[in-house]
Amino acid sequence: MKRILAVFTFALMTVSLAAAQRLPEVAAPENYKLTFTPDLEKATFEGDETISIRVLKQTSEITLNATDIDFHDVTITSGGSTQKAKVTPDKDQEMVTLAVEKPLSAGAATIHITYTGILNSEMRGLYLGKDDQGRKYAASQFEATDARRAFPSFDEPNYKATFDITAVADRGQVAISNQKILSDTPGPGDKHTVHFAPTVKLSSYLAALVVGNFEYIEGEADGIPIRVYSTPGKKEMGKFALESAVHVLSYYDKYFSIKYPYGKLDLIGLPDFSAGAMENAGCITFREVLLQIDEKQGSVDLKKTVASVIAHEMAHQWFGDLVTMKWWDDIWLNEGFATWMSSKPLEKWKPEWNYDLDDVSGTGGTLNTDSLANTRPIHQAAETPGQIMELFDGIAYGKAASVLRMLESYLGEETFRAGVNAYIEKHQYANATADDFWGAQAKTSKRPVDQIMPTFVKQAGAPFINVKSQCSGNATTVTLDQRRYYYDREKFQSPNDELWQIPMCMKSSTGSQKCELLTKKEQTFTLPGCSTWVLANAGATGYYRAGYQPDAVRALAGDAESKLTPAERIALQSDIWASVRVGREPVGDFLAFAQGLKKDRNRAVVDDVLGRLNFIGRYLVTDSDRYSFRSWLRGYLSPMLKDVGWEPKPGESDELRTLRARVFNALGYDARDPEVLAQARKIATKALDDPSSVDREMAGGALTLAALNGDQTFYDRVMAAIKNAKSPEDYYNYLFTLPQFTDPKLLQRTLDYAISPDVRSQDALGVVTSVMGNPEGQKQAWDFVLSHWDAVQKVGGPFASAQVIGSTSSFCDAHMRDQVAEFFAAHKIEAAERTYRQSIERINNCVDLKSQQEPQLASWLGQHGSSAGGQ
Ligand SMILES: [Zn+2]
């Protein structure tokens, strides 16, 4: 699965796990024959199911998972005799027990069930959706534990079985599932019946069905037909997705020793969809905006995201679908691998988009979460549906991906690939654990992967390597010591005994390099030549932070552009910031480093610097320093914009276009540059009249800037544009302009609109939390959440509560923290327990950072004047 919104989540599981909610090991499924007859008007469906099972030991009871299922006839056939079964549901456990009088002996048996289910509006199980024209459709979303809402099942990932799916659909509607269509015949009545070919062995959460009005465009790669489906009228917007998928499939078919195993591939854009996308085998479902994009008009940013989500879901066809984790505690074997893998085909296809640098920035973001005391290890026990849901977080995706990148770099790309293929071949159509993975890698590479990986997978947090280097004669001695990094200064400074086995590479100012495996708390190495600094993350593939002595930081700042790669510059500035966060360095050192990069025109490097300057501007600048901070920022950024140019030039690179938009936005938002704000207003007005008349990279940012001082007339124009948007991208550009206004009356309209029926429930909380992310709307949005808690919980699907709780982490004062704590003490959310603790911790960290660095910042700004940045 791909989550669309980063929920700042993560941690040591201090809450006690609820009682194990697992099926008894009495029987296992071999095949499901399923017929679904949806009634879109009544929002129900009829189900007819035959499960072929193996009874493992004699029993008179079989327990299955089932939720919101109304059972009709249930029989079990074994040894030639058929018995009626008594059905006893257990609502809390989401199970049902089928009991027969005469015990079933071990061996083959079949269960036959007829039932009625609900096409719910919660975007899980088999649910009801609606397109822009009001046409209804049914679609499935089963991960993690919702197949049980569509059919009684052994709904745990290790119970793999084959599926024969049949759908009875209204005339004119199509049915799409994991496999190709075997037959499509008229009847019953004015409906038609679609039989799909049997699947290979799959976990229940990977079965899929979509029924409704859809159209498609088609291509092919390596003999596999690929279709991109959309709701009527949007199929042309599938072209970019199709092109991406064709490229990605060809790449994966070469990378893996097993070719794409599902015969066909469908990618389906759904208007109502709770996650970002879902990797159902051969039948991947997406949020519309992550699949349907205007090929010519679409922005580079969104194209990159679309391609990346497609590559992620397609990587799952191997990591997750072909080889599946045994239990959810190893969800990283799915999500970490798909995240790590997704950049590979795209780097090859579009090297100019620099996905590799985005990955380095991504590691910085993940370290951010992993610096909390309330983070969690990658491998994490979870039993209940709520706990399982919470595992789909930044650790399962980002940290696992970063650790895999580090391992790949340590072993070498080809050795790592051989290990991956050995692992997949051994566990194809079956399940695996973390130990299976590093066991395979250790065996193939003959290196201590099984020693390294558990320290990163089973241990929470990230290591901090303290670097002390000294030149003596014609050599440089480097002493490295490791400890766990925490944002919490007290925790960071107290002795901790965590120990990692860290593959790392060093690089010195004289150009020498050395790669080592750190295994002890403290180790000393020698590099040739007399160096002014030694960088402890050469290549920027490491999953750790490094801290340097102040003179080394100054020397590195001077050499950053000439001697470090863009990736190393990104990692280094993240490291310097980490030292500021724990008070090892004053914030001025970070600003000085940023100033050293003022001639840097690498989009990814600048992006990262701007992100931290935005943080400083928002949290560390006091009212009395705001004027001088903004002037400093203008002095820093204006020459950059002048250099890049205000207008796009023919033939310029996508990276340059994106860089212009980033610098423009920062000048407008963080520096409040009047000229930029005036220009933004012009671009926004044009974008509202005709989106194709402006550079697409600029449109979203310009709308946001125009909203800062936007009045009611402008607000009404944005609202009208939402209703007339021609593409999903335009729609979201306009929709997410609404939370950026500053007038409280307009923000109130936005909040009310967000939870109204006019906004799809998947988008509602994104709008509310964006108001919370707007400093002018923060308090208002929080009060709104408090007074509309029931409505807020109802909209937004399974990720909803975590999204709201996660967004409270943008608060930075003790009073708000107490309000958050008080509210969630009274309104416990099981699926966001860790997210809650993390939010509180983040607020505390921010409050502490403010008290520590505010005066430092004031004094630095005092010394560096208002336009020093430009000099
Ligand atoms: Zn995924």
Q: What is the tens place of the pLDDT at every residue in 605-661?
A: 999 999 999 999 999 999 999 999 999 999 999 999 999 999 999 999 999 999 999
The dihedrals phi and psi of 379, each to the nearest 5 degrees, come to -85, 120
Please give the angle made by the CA atoms of 634, 639 and 643, to the nearest 5 degrees.
145
The dihedrals phi and psi of 459, each to the nearest 5 degrees, come to -110, 135
347 is catalytic: no
CA of 2 to the centre of ligand 1 (A): 4
455 vs 453: CA distance, rounded Å: 5
Per-residue model confidence (pLDDT) at position 386: 87
CA of 335 to the centre of ligand 1 (A): 5
Per-residue model confidence (pLDDT) at position 795: 81
Per-residue model confidence (pLDDT) at position 864: 86
| Secondary structure, 3-state, 528-584 | ECCCCCEECCHHHCCCCEEECCHHHHHHHHHHHHHHCCHHHHHHHHHHHHHHHHCCC
Q: State yes or no: cis peptide before 188, omega within 30 of 0.
A: yes
| CA neighbor of 152 nearest in space, from 319, 27, 274, 268 | 27
CA of 312 to the centre of ligand 1 (A): 6
The dihedrals phi and psi of 509, each to the nearest 5 degrees, come to -65, -20
Tokens of 786: 């408090």
CA of 802 to the centre of ligand 1 (A): 18
The dihedrals phi and psi of 833, each to the nearest 5 degrees, come to -60, -50
Residues with Cβ within 8 Å of residue 752, at least 6 apart in sequence: none
99 vs 97: CA distance, rounded Å: 6
17 vs 383: CA distance, rounded Å: 7
CA of 280 to the centre of ligand 1 (A): 10
Tokens of 314: 């397609």
Residues with Cβ within 8 Å of residue 826, at least 6 apart in sequence: none
CB 506 within 8 A of CB 513: yes
866 vs 593: CA distance, rounded Å: 17
Per-residue model confidence (pLDDT) at position 794: 83
CB 209 within 8 A of CB 175: yes
Q: How many CB atoms lie within 10 A of CB 1?
A: 24
CB 451 within 8 A of CB 466: no
Task: Tell me the HSE value of 634 on the side-chain side, using a 13 A CA sphere.
Answer: 17
Per-residue model confidence (pLDDT) at position 796: 63
Per-residue model confidence (pLDDT) at position 721: 96
CA of 630 to the centre of ligand 1 (A): 40
CA of 185 to the centre of ligand 1 (A): 35
CA of 321 to the centre of ligand 1 (A): 11
Per-residue model confidence (pLDDT) at position 831: 79
Residues with Cβ within 8 Å of residue 446, at least 6 apart in sequence: none
Q: How many CB atoms lie within 10 A of CB 530?
A: 15
Q: Where are the beta strands (DSSP E) in 417-544?
A: 430-432, 463-472, 475-484, 502-508, 513-518, 522-528, 534-535
Per-residue model confidence (pLDDT) at position 20: 63
Task: Tell me the HSE value of 601 on the side-chain side, using a 13 A CA sphere.
Answer: 13
789 vs 445: CA distance, rounded Å: 53
CB 300 within 8 A of CB 697: yes
Of 313, 390, 408, 568, the catalytic one is 313
Q: How many CB atoms lie within 10 A of CB 436?
A: 19
CB 555 within 8 A of CB 511: no
Q: Which residues of the chain have pLDDT under 50?
A: 5-18, 867-871
CA 71 to chain centre: 37
Tokens of 794: 């109802």
8-state DSSP, 105: P
CA of 328 to the centre of ligand 1 (A): 13
| CA neighbor of 787 nearest in space, from 759, 819, 809, 817 | 819
8-state DSSP, 2: B
Task: Tell me the HSE value of 752 on the side-chain side, using a 13 A CA sphere.
Answer: 6
CB 103 within 8 A of CB 60: yes
CA of 277 to the centre of ligand 1 (A): 8
Tokens of 7: 């929920």
| CA neighbor of 518 nearest in space, from 445, 565, 465 | 465
Task: Render the burial of 58-73: b for 16+ CB within 10 Å, e for the rest.
Answer: ebebbbbbbbbbebee
Task: Render the burial of 818-856: b for 16+ CB within 10 Å, e for the rest.
Answer: ebbeeebeeeebebbbbbbbbbbbbbbbbbbbbebbbeb
Q: How far is CA 238 from CA 49, 179, 268, 292, in A?
A: 35, 21, 9, 5
Cα dihedral sign for 111, 113, 119, 121? negative
Whole-model pTM over 0.85: yes
Task: Please provide the distance, in angstroms rounded to a whole number, between the alpha carbons at the two ends of the chain.
Answer: 48
CA of 386 to the centre of ligand 1 (A): 18
